[in-house]
Structure 1
Amino acid sequence: MGRLIRYILIIHKLSGPEKYVPVDSLISYLNLQMEIRGYEIGISQRTLQRDMKDILSMFELEIKNYRGHGYYIAERPIDNDVRYEELLTNFDLLTSLNQESQTAGFIIPEHHRPKGNDSIPILIKAIKDCSVLKFDYRLVRKDDKVISKTVKPHFLKESLGLWYLLALDENNNLRLYAIDRISNILILDECFKRDDSIDPDNLFRHSYGIWDDPNIPIEEVELSYSPLDGKFIKTMPLHSSQEILVDNDEEFRIRLHIRITNDFVMALLARSTSLTVIRPLSLLKRINEIYRNALKRNEL
Structure 2
Amino acid sequence: MTRNRKTRSSSKSNAATLFNRYVWLVDTIYRAGRITFEEINERWQRSSLNETSEELPLKTFHNHKNAIQQMFDINIECDRRGGYLYYIEHAEDMEQGGVRTWLLNTFAVNHLINESHHLKRRILFEEIPSGQRFLTQIIEAMRDNRTLEMTYQSFWNDTAHTFEVAPYCVKVFRQRWYVVACSTSDDRLRIYALDRIRELRTSEHLFVLPKDFDPQAYFADSFGIAVDEDYKPEQIKVRVSGIQRQYIRTLPLHASQQETKITDDSSIFEFYLRPTLDFQQELISQAANTDEWVEVLEPAWLRDQMKQVGINLAKAHNGTL
TM-score, scaled relative to structure 2:
0.78
1:114-146 residue CA offsets vs partner (Å, 9 max, x unmatched):
334332111111111112211211121123x20
Quote the RMSD (CA, aligned, Å). 3.2
Question: Is 1:156 the equivalent of 2:170?
Answer: yes
2:311 alignment partner in structure 1: 292
Superposed displacement of residue 270, structure 1: 0.9
1:19-58 matches, cutoff 5 A: 21-31=35-45, 34-35=47-48, 40=51, 41-45=53-57, 46-58=59-71
1:215-269 residue CA offsets vs partner (Å, 9 max, x unmatched):
3122211111122001111110111111112334311221111111001001101
SS of residue paired to 1:183? strand
Change (3 A) 1:31 1:247: farther
Superposed displacement of residue 93, structure 1: 5.3
Look up the equivalent residue of 2:72 and give its one-letter code: F
1:174 alignment partner in structure 2: 189
Question: Is 1:204 the equivalent of 2:219?
Answer: yes
Superposed displacement of residue 195, structure 1: 1.9
Distance in 2 of aligned mates of 1:102 and 1:131: 44
Question: Which structure has more helix as a fraction of its residues?
Answer: 2
Distance in 2 of aligned mates of 1:172 and 1:97: 45
Superposed displacement of residue 298, structure 1: 2.3
Do 1:116 and 1:181's aligned partners in 2 also have CA atoms closer than 8 Å? no
Superposed displacement of residue 84, structure 1: 5.3
1:96-124 residue CA offsets vs partner (Å, 9 max, x unmatched):
889x95543122244x7433433211111
Change (3 A) 1:218 1:114: same
1:278 alignment partner in structure 2: 297
Distance in 1 of aligned mates of 2:99 and 2:138: 22
Q: Identity of counterpart residues, as a percentage?
A: 23
Moved more, 145-154 or 186-195: 186-195
Do 1:11 and 1:84's aligned partners in 2 also have CA atoms closer than 8 Å? no
1:64-106 residue CA offsets vs partner (Å, 9 max, x unmatched):
5566624455799x9x9646554344235556889x9554312
Moved more, 251-260 or 56-65: 56-65
Do 2:231 and 2:274's aligned partners in 1 also have CA atoms closer than 8 Å? yes
TM-score, scaled relative to structure 1:
0.83
Look up the equivalent residue of 1:159 and give its one-letter code: F
Look up the equivalent residue of 1:222 and give its one-letter code: K
1:186-213 residue CA offsets vs partner (Å, 9 max, x unmatched):
1112322222210111111111001122
1:45-66 residue CA offsets vs partner (Å, 9 max, x unmatched):
3442332243234224454556
1:138-174 residue CA offsets vs partner (Å, 9 max, x unmatched):
121123x201121111211111221111122113222
Distance in 2 of aligned mates of 1:82 and 1:2: 24
Q: How many residues align?
A: 291
Do 1:221 and 1:280's aligned partners in 2 also have CA atoms closer than 8 Å? yes
Unaligned runs of 5+ in 2: 1-15
SS of residue paired to 1:266? helix
Instruction: Return the index of the structure with the highest Cα Rg.
Output: 2
Change (3 A) 1:128 1:101: farther
Look up the equivalent residue of 1:149 and give its one-letter code: F
Superposed displacement of residue 297, structure 1: 2.3
Distance in 1 of aligned mates of 2:128 and 2:90: 38
Moved more, 113-122 or 217-226: 113-122
1:261-299 residue CA offsets vs partner (Å, 9 max, x unmatched):
001001101121311111111111111111222222222
Change (3 A) 1:191 1:103: farther
Distance in 2 of aligned mates of 1:162 and 1:31: 39
